[in-house]
Amino acid sequence: MATYFLWFDLLGVAVFAVSGTLAAWRNQMDGFGVIVLASVTAIGGGTLRDLILDVPVIWINNNSYFYAIFIAAAATILLVRNRLTIPNNTLQILDAIGLAFFVIMGTQKALDYGTSTLVAIMLGTMSGVCGGMIRDVLCREIPMVFRGELYAVTCLVGGGVYTSLLALGAGQLTAMLAGMSALLLLRLAAIKWHITIPVFGKHHSDLNEP
């Protein structure tokens, strides 16, 4: 693994750990709840990806991932305890940054193990969204990926930009930065301007009503 691969992965873990810690704070969980929520948010998606690829789970033999989680969670707790103002959309923004790291890293890992481009993008998307899904389910909320602004679509776009640039002969780091940037900018734009893909219009709770 190239050095910048590891640093990108750890940055993604740290950012998602912060988002998990903020979700635990918002739901008034205790210390154990904070660690559980920070951990599943940070490594849940990557764990599921590795299990599907039938390869060793990335954090099994590398304690750096847990150090990143604990440091990020502890720093977030200190900030919250000092009652610093936390904007309402902080969780969404941190989640978007985590997505940018995890989707591209997950896509590359799938490519490294010989999957097709389409499957790699799907596994990269899974790497990015599943940790947040577990976080939201534990908080008894509808997962962010299923509601509101564009979410999974931004992951597909980021993975598509990354793999397309690789196919065109771009350097790997350049392609990674471009894919991350495309995903992050699209997700932040969706949050700011409430961009969605509407499927159902307004409806009555009873489907039999006109």
Structure confidence at residue 148 (pLDDT): 74
Tell me the whole-structure pTM to 2 decimals: 0.91
| Digit-coded pLDDT (tens) for 65-101 | 999 999 999 999 998 888 767 777 888 999 999 999 9
**3-state SS assignment for residue 11:** helix
What is the Cα–Cα distance from 49 to 60, expressed in whole angstroms? 14
Mean pLDDT of 94-112: 95
Cβ-contact 149, 51 below 8 angstroms: no
Structure confidence at residue 206 (pLDDT): 54
Examine the pLDDT at 36 and tell me if it is beyond 90.
yes
What is the Cα–Cα distance from 199 to 65, expressed in whole angstroms? 39
Cβ-contact 155, 128 below 8 angstroms: yes
